[in-house]
Copies of this chain bind each other. A is one copy, B any other.
Amino acid sequence: MQTQKIAIAIVDDHTLFRQGLAHLLTESNEIEVIFDAGDGAEMIRKLPMQPLPDVILMDITMPVMDGYESTRWIKQNYPQIKVLALSMFEEDVPIINMLKSGAGGYMLKQAKAADLINAIKTIEKQTFFINDLVSGKLLNNIQNNLPVKTAKIQVSANELKFLELCCSDLTYKEIADMMNLSPFTINNYREALFEKFETKSRTGLVISALKSDLIKL
Which residue of chain B is the closest to A199 with respect to CB atoms?
Answer: B169
Complex CA gap A88/B110 in Å reads 15
Interface string of A192-206 (1 = CB under 8 A from B): 000000011111101
| Residue interface mask A7-30, B partner, CB < 8 A = 1 | 000000111110111111001000
- A169–B111 Cα distance when bound, in Å, is 38
The answer to whether the Cβ of A6 comes within 8 Å of any Cβ in the partner chain is: no
In the complex, what residues of B have CB within 8 A of residue A201's CB? 169, 171
Looking at the complex, which one of B15, B17, B206 makes contact with A207 (CB distance below 8 Å)?
B206
Q: How many A residues touch B, CB cutoff 8 Å?
A: 38
Q: For residue A47, give the distance in angstroms from its CB to the closest CB of chain B.
A: 22
B interface footprint on A166-195 (CB within 8 Å = 1, 0 otherwise): 111101000000000000000000000000
> Which residues of B lie under 8 Å from residue A149 when comparing CB positions?
none
Alpha-carbon gap, A188 to B14, bound state (A): 46
Among the interface residues A20, A23, A169, which one has the most CB atoms of the partner chain B within 10 A? A20
Residues of B contacting A169 in the complex (Cβ-Cβ under 8 angstroms): 199-201, 203-204
Bound CA–CA A24/B14 (angstroms):
14
